[in-house]
Structure 1
Amino acid sequence: MDEWSWLYDDIYMDLTFVDVFEKKGLDAPVKDFTEAFAQAEYPLWHANQAARYNILQGIEAPGHWLNNPHADDIDYQIEADFAGLMNPGMPNSASQVSDKIGHLMCYGDGWYGSVYVGAMYSLAFASDDIQDIVTEALKTIPKESGLNVFQTL
């Protein structure tokens, strides 16, 4: 990490969002998260990079699939763990965080996967039954999503 710190967007993106919560509170507006990661000096890739570009160009809905060709990528999925960690045992609250922040860079299955990841992290505080965690987290996303393959677990 000391040699290639720019590779760890799954850490520094999380820390950027947690920093906004710390400074602005749990009801921080989307605008604060938007500005924080758009103005950060670290490099980004795929959906995050496209969203940053869109934000800096003044494009509304920077993560929407019409504006971001990477909207279904896993960018926010690898960052959504913080939503669950900040909402232990409260998957719906974790989903609200992901609704606010995840849509900045992802939509569709890119976003549904994020909600699912955040919910699993949240539920892991309340249960050590993996099957239960997986099953309960699936309730936070529509069965019609492309992630419905997990419904058979």
Structure 2
Amino acid sequence: MKELIKEGIEKDRHRGLINQIKLEGGIRLLLASLERILVSLVLLLASLERILVSLERILVSLERILVSLVLLLVNLERILVSLEQILVSLERILVNLVLLLVNLERILVSLEQILVSLERILVNLVLLLVNLVQILVIHRNEHAFYLCYVGCILNSRKSSFY
């Protein structure tokens, strides 16, 4: 029985050694897997670092684009101010043109009044000439009074001018 117990102990020891060897092999496999995982994590970290650098470059580019857009907005605002000033100038020009047209219309009205006055003067001169012709015709027929009437008419016209 001692023998059996020794054999049982020996078998248990043998099984323990086998289990220990299996356990050590499993631990080695686990360590190798953990090492591969660690290498993968290091590679992932390097990739993430490269991605971070790329993102920083993108951020810098976006910042430059934003600055360019702000400058563009400033230039557009300046253009808008210039266009507003041009519009104000055009409005002033339009007002001046309207005032000029009003003044030209007044001048035309004045010229029309002058023309009407000149027409009246012309009509009066024609009537005066007709009267003179009539007087001359009458005096021609009456030779004796011709010089007398002409002198009277001239004297009366001279006195009316004064």
TM-score (norm 2): 0.18
More helix by share: 2
Q: Which of structures 1 and 2 has the larger relative contact order (alpha carbons within 8 angstroms, sep 6+)? A: 1
TM-score (norm 1): 0.19
Structure with the greater alpha carbon radius of gyration: 2
